[in-house]
């Protein structure tokens, strides 16, 4: 979900990893790069090879289908998050 | 070829073929980005040691490739290096033992041919049994992945440079054509060899050998001629079209298989030489003579078998790496 959210803006592999890490989510590169390919295969991302700084780079961004999946995931996440917060708050008051 | 190229080539070998170029291009981009970021922060070019450290951190080529491939395997990329090392160790122990035991038994036996065959069979069975046991142990370890710990003891600098197909030198091709044509003419009897031998015998005053070729040689002759002609045609094609390397590779494999078939046919014959003297002179020794030649043939068959396997491996390697 974090990857999908980050790819609302176009990134290539290395900057995506760096941006996620800067925001506190370190993802192992052995997980991240194959994940990008899998998400693309599932139609959630689109990619494009483009030359930048005299080198070909693969840029990923969210596809229209990825945008709607991300929207659903965010709603689900917020509802789970709220529920967990309520439970955690309740537990604290009992303790 | 840079360290990065060698690393990517090693990854490429085990990637799913239809995605190979795309994944390697992406990995190159990822790794170059890391190297550049490091160079920017250090304000200098990285040394080979530093690049090797980045590659090492990125992972073993087989492990990296496995992340992109959905293939299932008996022994996975983590355990495979240890599996290979175990097989090599067994080969290094068994090989010299087999050689020594073979030499001793051949030297002390009345029937060296039978002893050679028996020892080769015995050590083949022992070798296969070890191979099976080691494979089973590692396959079991792969299933219970708890045993598969990740080893950091590899060095990207030890990755081999990929062997690319190179066209043979023209001089080598011309020599090969000339020699093979000479052998072909010799084989089909274009030269009066028998007359030359008779003249030589008369000149030195010795009696001719009372032996001749057994009928099996006539049986293999068409295949031998076909192989020689194929070899000549292959070399002529290579002279005219030096970059038709894949074709050359496949024809080379076919020649290896053909030569192996010829040798197997000879080994399976009752005799390769027969007595030609009407009075039966030399009949006492023909058995030993044949036995000696069979031993040579047996070694030749083993050599041809190994070289055919190597040719298959060569074709597969170049097919998968550069197709």
Which residues have C-beta within 8 Å of that of residue B291, sequence separation ≥ 6? B112, B113
Of B29, B37, B68, the CB nearest to A37: B68
Q: What pLDDT score was predicted for residue B151? A: 53
- Please tell me whether the interface predicted TM-score (ipTM) of this complex is above 0.85: no
User: Using one digit for the tens of pLDDT, what is the confidence trace for A38-48?
Assistant: 899 899 999 88
User: Using one digit for the tens of pLDDT, what is the confidence trace for A48-86?
Assistant: 888 887 888 889 999 999 899 999 999 999 999 999 988
Find chain A residues with C-beta within 8 A of B25's C-beta: 49, 56, 58
- Please state the separation of Cα B266 from the chain's center in Å: 22
How many residues are present in chain B?
323
Is B147 in the same domain as B177?
no
Q: What pLDDT score was predicted for residue B61? A: 83
**Residue A91: how many other CB atoms lie within 10 Å:** 9
Is B94 in the same domain as B118?
yes
Pairs from B81-87 (Cβ < 8 Å, separation ≥ 24): B81/B151, B81/B154, B82/B138, B82/B151, B83/B134, B83/B135, B83/B138, B86/B134, B86/B138, B87/B131, B87/B134
Is B316 in the same domain as B189?
yes
End-to-end CA distance of chain B: 20
Distance (Å, whole) CA B31 – CA B39: 12
Is B186 in the same domain as B286?
yes
Of B33, B34, B68, the CB nearest to A34: B68
Asked if residue B75 is part of any domain, the answer here is no
Is B190 in the same domain as B295?
yes
Is B97 in the same domain as B204?
no
Asked if residue B100 is part of any domain, the answer here is yes
User: A58, B67: Cβ pair inside 8 Å?
Assistant: no
A91, pLDDT greater than 60 = no
Q: Which phi and psi angles does A42 have, rounded to 5°?
A: -80, -5
Find chain A residues with C-beta within 8 A of B68's C-beta: 34, 37
Q: What pLDDT score was predicted for residue A71? A: 92
Asked if residue B141 is part of any domain, the answer here is yes
Q: What pLDDT score was predicted for residue B323? A: 39
Give the residues of chain B that fall short of pLDDT 70.
1, 69-73, 77, 143-153, 161-165, 317-323
- Chain B CB within 8 Å of residue A93 CB: no
Asked if residue B199 is part of any domain, the answer here is yes
Asked if residue B12 is part of any domain, the answer here is yes
Distance (Å, whole) CA B144 – CA A82: 39
* Structural domain ending residue among the three candidates B127, B158, B189: B158
Q: Could you say which residues from 24 to 43 on chain B have a Cβ atom under 8 Å away from some Cβ of chain A?
A: 25-27, 29-30, 32-34, 37
Distance (Å, whole) CA B113 – CA B294: 7
Is B135 in the same domain as B15?
no
Distance (Å, whole) CA B60 – CA A56: 24
Q: Let me know: does B165 contact B249? Beta carbons within 8 Å.
A: yes
- Chain B CB within 8 Å of residue A67 CB: no
User: Using one digit for the tens of pLDDT, what is the confidence trace for B70-122?
Assistant: 455 677 767 788 888 888 888 888 888 888 777 777 777 777 777 777 777 78
B39 CB burial (10 A radius; 0-12, 13-18, 19+): middle
Q: What share of chain A is helix, strand, coil (3-state, %, to 5)?
A: 60, 20, 20
A4, pLDDT greater than 70 = yes
Enumerate the domain spans of chain A: 2-94
Is B178 in the same domain as B120?
no
Is B11 in the same domain as B126?
no
Q: Is CATH 1.10.10.10 correct for A2-94?
A: yes
Distance (Å, whole) CA B128 – CA B134: 10
User: Using one digit for the tens of pLDDT, what is the confidence trace for B245-262?
Assistant: 888 888 988 999 999 899
What CA–CA distances, in Å, run from B206 to A90, B237, B273, B282, B289?
Answer: 114, 46, 20, 15, 19
* Secondary structure of residue B242 in the 3-state scheme: coil
Q: What pLDDT score was predicted for residue B233? A: 94
Number of domains in chain B: 3
Is B103 in the same domain as B36?
no
Domain that holds residue B183: 170-322
Q: What pLDDT score was predicted for residue B152? A: 62
């Amino acid at each position: 979900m974090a990857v999908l959210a980050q790819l609302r803006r176009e990134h290539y592999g290395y900057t995506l990893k760096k941006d996620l890490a800067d925001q506190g989510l370190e993802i192992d590169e052995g997980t991240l790069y194959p994940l990008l390919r899998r998400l693309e295969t599932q139609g959630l991302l689109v990619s494009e090879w483009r030359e930048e700084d005299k080198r070909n780079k693969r840029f990923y961004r969210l596809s229209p289908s990825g945008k709607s999946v991300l929207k659903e995931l965010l709603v689900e996440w917020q509802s789970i998050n709220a529920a967990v917060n309520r439970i955690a708050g309740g537990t604290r008051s009992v303790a | 070829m840079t360290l990065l190229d060698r690393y990517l080539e090693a990854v490429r070998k085990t990637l799913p073929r239809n995605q190979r170029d795309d994944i390697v291009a992406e990995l190159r981009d990822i790794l170059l980005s890391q190297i550049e970021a490091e160079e920017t922060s250090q304000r200098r070019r990285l040394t080979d040691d530093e690049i090797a450290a980045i590659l090492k951190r990125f992972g073993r080529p087989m492990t990296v490739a496995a992340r992109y491939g959905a293939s299932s395997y008996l022994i996975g990329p983590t355990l495979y290096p240890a599996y290979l090392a175990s097989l090599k160790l067994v080969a290094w122990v068994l090989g010299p033992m087999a050689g020594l035991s073979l030499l001793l038994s051949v030297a002390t036996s009345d029937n060296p041919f039978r002893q050679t065959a028996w020892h080769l069979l015995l050590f083949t069975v022992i070798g296969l049994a070890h191979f099976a046991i080691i494979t089973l142990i590692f396959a079991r370890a792969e299933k219970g992945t708890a045993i598969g710990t990740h080893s950091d003891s590899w060095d990207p600098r030890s990755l081999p440079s990929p062997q690319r197909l190179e066209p043979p030198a023209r001089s080598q091709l011309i020599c090969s054509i000339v020699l093979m044509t000479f052998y072909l003419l010799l084989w089909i009897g274009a030269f009066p060899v028998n007359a030359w031998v008779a003249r030589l015998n008369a000149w030195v005053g010795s009696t001719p050998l009372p032996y001749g070729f057994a009928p099996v040689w006539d049986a293999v002759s068409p295949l031998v001629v076909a192989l020689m002609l194929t070899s000549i045609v292959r070399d002529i094609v290579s002279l005219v079209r030096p970059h038709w390397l894949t074709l050359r590779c496949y024809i080379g494999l076919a020649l290896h298989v053909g030569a192996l078939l010829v040798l197997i046919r000879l080994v399976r014959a009752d005799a390769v030489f027969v007595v030609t003297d009407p009075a039966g002179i030399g009949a006492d020794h023909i058995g030993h003579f044949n036995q000696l030649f069979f031993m040579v043939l047996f070694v030749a068959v083993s050599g041809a078998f190994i070289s055919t396997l190597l040719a298959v491996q060569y074709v597969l390697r170049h097919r998968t790496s550069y197709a």
